[in-house]
Amino acid sequence: MTDSPGTERAVLDRDGLGALVRELRARGHTVVGPTVRDGAVVLDEIDSADRLPFGWGVEHEAGRYRLRPREDGAAFAHSAGPQSWKAYLHPQRLREWTADREADGRITVRAEEPARVSYAFLGVQPCDLRAIAVQDRVLGGGAYTDEGYRGRRARAFLVVAECTEPGATCFCVSMGTGPGAPGDAAYDLALTEVVDDGGHRFLVRAGSPAGAEVLAALPRRPADGATAEAAREAVADAATRMGRTMPGTDLHALMAGTLEADRWDDVASRCLTCGNCTMVCPTCFCTSTEDVGDLTGDHAERWRRWESCFDLDFSHLPGGPVRSSGRSRYRQWLTHKLGTWHDQFGSSGCVGCGRCIVWCPVGIDITEEAAALDREWSARTLPPTAPAEPGDARGRSPGRTGP
Amino acid sequence: MTDQEPRPRPRLGVFKFASCDGCQLTLLDCEDELLPLADEVEIRHFLEASGAVAPGPYDLSLVEGSITTPEDARRIRQVRADSRHLVTIGACATAGGVQALRNFADVEEFTRTVYATPEYISTLATSTPVSAHVPVDFELRGCPIDRGQLLEVVTAYLSGRRPDIPDHSVCFACKRRGTVCVTVAHGTPCLGPVTHAGCGAICPAFGRGCYGCFGPARSTNLPAYIPVLRRDGMDERDVTRFLRTYNAAAFEEPSVRESRP
Ligand code: SF4
Ligand code: SF4
Ligand code: SF4
Ligand code: SF4
């Protein structure tokens, strides 16, 4: 091994990308990457780079997603698909243990051994790389570590694809999470796709010793100035084409200060409480437990499955749900993403991927809601309007989000 | 504690009102689980399976079908009186079924048009869910019900716990399953966001919109969703027809039902 991570930059052509998939598979990884299915770029296990969505781009709007062909044949020029990598690192349903009543009446409980799958994720966009880092803090560390997650994560090999084609619903720049792969982020390889007169190629750099080792095994050529410059420009240009912007205000303070805002009623009148936003969000991590038994009562299993704060059961206590209104549930989602997440995990819970905007059937837009709250908040708090009323929500504890 | 008499098995009754028998068939369709079930419970009344019936009381009664005649209305009270737990199964018993279309029409006119001697027909003006007549312990939805959910309810009652039957939207299941949303990606009208989960989001997985077989989810906001159906090509009549299928009357109720505890 001669390359130290992050220094060697090389250029792969399309065959080199094919070799990358073969190399990762040869090393025992289950390679997961974007591919086209049912009118969308979805994530799936791929056995060859041919499965990548070459020549497919995406048109996004709030509540709308359409594939469109791209003349340039690019493979990574898409964003905000219906799934995220959490589908693999934090699966939607997992068995935790089984219990059996033996013939002598004793009960034996067996913890589920997590499957030892070792993923390689090909084409992780920078916003999603940040989302993985967010889930690492939530599930992979701290007081409540999910050992299964930790194992899957530790074995995963991440190949970033820097973003050169943001969508109309993207706002990673205002969240500080893209469109380039940040220097301090953990990944194994980072690609930047370049398609121009010089051909279809990928500028690649290693971000870890494992990445450098894989790169060394691939057919490649040293990075030339033109490719490096084209890659730099493509990413810099992407930064200027964000379709959305999050207001530049202190979102944590905004969320804490607007708990009683009228805007919550407005958004609640539009929100279906269908839960799609939390399911597609790459950082949402909530689960609930599910106990199943057989008819004899001699065998029981505990499973956990994705849950959402839009479910009435989510806050069900003996007297009923704590957050019964749609207003309180939408507010829980937004204040958790943008506000209380900072208190719990030291960062925002939103990485600006835009999925919740695209995949909301009625197109509710997190950036628009935050902006409206910001306007309402400024209108209430800016001088020279009347002094704060006793009922003014500013300064209340952000911790309480019940209705 | 040895050589005791075998503990008495819970007594099961299955009853039918106005319905197509599809939900009872789901019970017969439980194949692998049917024999263990017959070991665990004493099936005392299940005409679809056996003509031999034994009187109540029943520990668990599964009731299929809606109440559409004065005789139904009397008989459901009897079933309730005979049952410790009464669980309704299917869209007819929990929401009145497709036959609740009569609730929006003139039944007398129907009987005059259809029958040569309408005087022989004794029917109510409406088709109503069982819960409109007697207290119900649990309502299992679907047209037809889902086999796995039926077993879950029966197992839960046998072991004295609450059934794990989520009452959120079909979208939850659709997203967990990894289906590409047909509304967002194809512009196909889909009732998933306002429909009760339970089927496993089958239709969107095959590129079709959800038909609403399980009736409204516990928390919905139908008025906010109508404009999406209209955008995707449905006119007012289409929307009405879309909503008035297996749970004809249920989607028409005041649609924000979430304030219920
Ligand atoms: S809140 Fe929305 S934009 Fe932010 S990370 Fe989640 S899905 Fe993406
Ligand atoms: S927004 Fe809701 S579902 Fe997502 S992590 Fe927070 S509480 Fe959980
Ligand atoms: S914001 Fe949109 S996706 Fe989220 S629950 Fe409301 S309607 Fe559903
Ligand atoms: S296809 Fe239908 S059920 Fe599935 S997420 Fe979309 S709206 Fe919901």
Query: In this predicted model, what pLDDT tens digit does every residue of A171-214 receive, in sequence order?
Result: 999 999 999 987 777 999 999 999 999 999 999 999 999 999 99
Asked if pLDDT for residue A399 goes beyond 70, the answer is no
Q: For residue A135, with 0-12 CB atoms within 10 Å meaning exposed, 13-18 middle and 19 or more buried, which class applies?
A: buried
Query: In this predicted model, what pLDDT tens digit does every residue of A304-351 receive, in sequence order?
Result: 999 999 999 999 998 899 999 999 999 999 999 999 999 999 999 999
Q: Do B194 and A274 touch (CB under 8 A)?
A: yes
Three-state secondary-structure class, residue B100: helix
Are B26 and B79 in the same domain? yes
Domain assignment present for residue B129? The answer is yes
Determine the distance separating the centroid of ligand 2 and the alpha carbon of A279, expressed in angstroms: 9
Query: In this predicted model, what pLDDT tens digit does every residue of A116-125 receive, in sequence order?
Result: 999 999 999 9
Among the bound ligands, name the one nearest to the CA of residue B184. Answer: 4
Are B193 and B251 in the same domain? yes
Q: Which residue of A has its CA nearest to B196?
A: A274
Query: In this predicted model, what pLDDT tens digit does every residue of A119-170 receive, in sequence order?
Result: 999 999 999 999 999 999 999 987 889 999 999 999 999 999 999 999 999 9
Q: How far is B165 from chain A (nearest CA, A)?
A: 10
Domain assignment present for residue A4? The answer is no
Residues 328-357 of A with CB under 8 A from B: 329
Are A89 and A145 in the same domain? yes
DSSP bridge pairs for A35: A42
B53 or B139, which is more confident:
B139
Are A139 and A214 in the same domain? yes
Asked if pLDDT for residue B196 goes beyond 70, the answer is yes
Are A230 and A350 in the same domain? no
Domain assignment present for residue A389? The answer is no
B190 lines ligand 4 (CB under 6 A): yes
ipTM of the complex: 0.92
Tokens of A68: 């469109």
**What is the DSSP secondary-structure string of A357-396?**
HHT-TT---HHHHHHHHHHHHHHHHSTTSPPPPTT--TTS
Are A179 and A268 in the same domain? no
Domain assignment present for residue B204? The answer is yes
Asked if pLDDT for residue B258 goes beyond 90, the answer is no
DSSP B245: S
**What is the DSSP secondary-structure string of B133-149?**
TS--SEEE--SS--HHH
Residue from the list A92, A276, A361 with its beta carbon closest to the beta carbon of B228: A361
Asked if pLDDT for residue B5 goes beyond 80, the answer is no
Among the bound ligands, name the one nearest to the CA of residue B204. Answer: 4
Residue from the list B37, B171, B184 with its beta carbon closest to the beta carbon of A63: B184
Cβ count near B9 (within 10 Å): 14
Q: Which of B158, B192, B225 is where one domain is finished?
A: B158
Asked if pLDDT for residue A86 goes beyond 80, the answer is yes
Are A154 and A257 in the same domain? no
**Which site among B60, B149, B181, B222 would you substitute to test the A interface, given the most A Cβ atoms closer than 10 Å to its Cβ?**
B181
Are A263 and A214 in the same domain? no
- Whether residue B65 contacts residue B93, with contact meaning beta carbons closer than 8 Å, is answered with yes
Using a CB-CB cut-off of 8 Å, the residues of chain B touching A66 are: 185
Residue from the list B175, B184, B228 with its beta carbon closest to the beta carbon of A65: B184
**Which site among A270, A271, A273, A328 would you substitute to test the B interface, given the most B Cβ atoms closer than 10 Å to its Cβ?**
A273
Domain assignment present for residue A393? The answer is no
Query: For atom 5 of ligand 1, which residue has the closest CA?
Result: A350
Determine the distance separating the centroid of ligand 1 and the alpha carbon of A354, expressed in angstroms: 5
DSSP bridge pairs for A306: A287
Give me the pLDDT at residue B144, please.
95
Are A225 and A295 in the same domain? no
Determine the distance separating the centroid of ligand 1 and the alpha carbon of A35, expressed in angstroms: 21
Using a CB-CB cut-off of 8 Å, the residues of chain A touching B207 are: 38
Asked if pLDDT for residue A292 goes beyond 70, the answer is yes
Query: In this predicted model, what pLDDT tens digit does every residue of B204-222 receive, in sequence order?
Result: 999 999 999 999 999 999 9
Give me the pLDDT at residue A403, please.
37
A276 in B contact zone (CB under 8 Å): yes
Give me the pLDDT at residue A328, please.
97
Query: In this predicted model, what pLDDT tens digit does every residue of A14-33 receive, in sequence order?
Result: 999 999 999 999 999 999 99
The atom number, within ligand 1, closest to the CA of A337 reads: 1
The atom number, within ligand 1, closest to the CA of A171 reads: 3
Give me the pLDDT at residue A165, please.
95
Q: Which of B106, B136, B158 is where one domain is finished?
A: B158
Domain assignment present for residue B163? The answer is no
Q: How far is A108 from chain B (nearest CA, A)?
A: 18
Are B154 and B189 in the same domain? no
Using a CB-CB cut-off of 8 Å, the residues of chain A touching B33 are: 295
Domain assignment present for residue A398? The answer is no
Are B149 and B175 in the same domain? no
Asked if pLDDT for residue A6 goes beyond 80, the answer is no
Are A136 and A160 in the same domain? yes
Give me the pLDDT at residue B259, please.
37
Domain assignment present for residue B4? The answer is no
Give me the pLDDT at residue A384, please.
53
Determine the distance separating the centroid of ligand 4 and the alpha carbon of B192, expressed in angstroms: 5
Distances (CA, A) of B24 to A235, B44, B246: 60, 15, 16
The CATH number of the domain where B45 resides is what?
3.40.50.700
Domain assignment present for residue A274? The answer is yes
Q: Do A66 and B218 touch (CB under 8 A)?
A: no
Task: Calculate the average pLDDT of chain B.
Answer: 91
Q: Which of B126, B158, B190 is where one domain is finished?
A: B158
Cα separation, A355 vs A42, whole angstroms:
13
Are A230 and A339 in the same domain? no
Asked if pLDDT for residue A48 goes beyond 80, the answer is yes
Are B226 and B149 in the same domain? no
Three-state secondary-structure class, residue A178: coil
Cα separation, B228 vs A39, whole angstroms:
19
Q: How far is B126 from chain A (nearest CA, A)?
A: 30
Which H or E run contains B231? Answer: helix B222-231
Q: Which domain holds residue B62?
A: 11-158
Residue from the list A37, A297, A359 with its beta carbon closest to the beta carbon of B184: A359
Asked if pLDDT for residue B233 goes beyond 80, the answer is yes
B28 or A385, which is more confident:
B28
Give me the pLDDT at residue A183, please.
74
pTM: predicted TM-score of the whole model, two decimal places: 0.92
Cβ count near A109 (within 10 Å): 10
Using a CB-CB cut-off of 8 Å, the residues of chain A touching B218 are: 312
Q: Could you give the number of structural domains in chain B?
A: 2
Domain assignment present for residue A80? The answer is yes
Angle between helices A263-270 and A326-335 (to 10 degrees): 110
Cα separation, B232 vs A135, whole angstroms:
36
Are A162 and A273 in the same domain? no
Tokens of B34: 């049917």
Using a CB-CB cut-off of 8 Å, the residues of chain A touching B176 are: 92-93, 279, 305-306
Give me the pLDDT at residue A7, please.
59
Cβ count near A49 (within 10 Å): 20
Task: Calculate the average pLDDT of chain A.
Answer: 92
Give me the pLDDT at residue B256, please.
36
- Whether residue A169 contacts residue A61, with contact meaning beta carbons closer than 8 Å, is answered with yes
**Which site among B194, B258, B259 would you substitute to test the A interface, given the most A Cβ atoms closer than 10 Å to its Cβ?**
B258
Cα separation, B59 vs A208, whole angstroms:
64
Are B117 and B190 in the same domain? no
Residues 86-115 of B with CB under 8 A from A: none
Query: In this predicted model, what pLDDT tens digit does every residue of A216-250 receive, in sequence order?
Result: 999 999 999 999 999 999 999 999 999 999 999 99
B152 in A contact zone (CB under 8 Å): yes
Give me the pLDDT at residue A392, please.
40
Are A224 and A348 in the same domain? no
DSSP A16: H
Domain assignment present for residue A206? The answer is yes
Are B183 and B233 in the same domain? yes
Asked if pLDDT for residue B106 goes beyond 60, the answer is yes
Q: Do A326 and B221 touch (CB under 8 A)?
A: yes
Domain assignment present for residue B225? The answer is yes
Are B52 and B30 in the same domain? yes
Q: How far is B219 from chain A (nearest CA, A)?
A: 7
Determine the distance separating the centroid of ligand 4 and the alpha carbon of A178, expressed in angstroms: 29
Domain assignment present for residue A391? The answer is no
Tokens of A149: 């997650």
Determine the distance separating the centroid of ligand 2 and the alpha carbon of A341, expressed in angstroms: 9
Q: Which domain holds residue A310?
A: 251-381
Q: Could you give the number of structural domains in chain A?
A: 2
A282 lines ligand 1 (CB under 6 A): yes
Query: φ and ψ at B143, to 5 degrees?
Result: -135, 90
Query: For atom 3 of ligand 4, which residue has the closest CA?
Result: B192
Are A205 and A341 in the same domain? no
Question: Position B236: which residue type?
Answer: E
Domain assignment present for residue B2? The answer is no
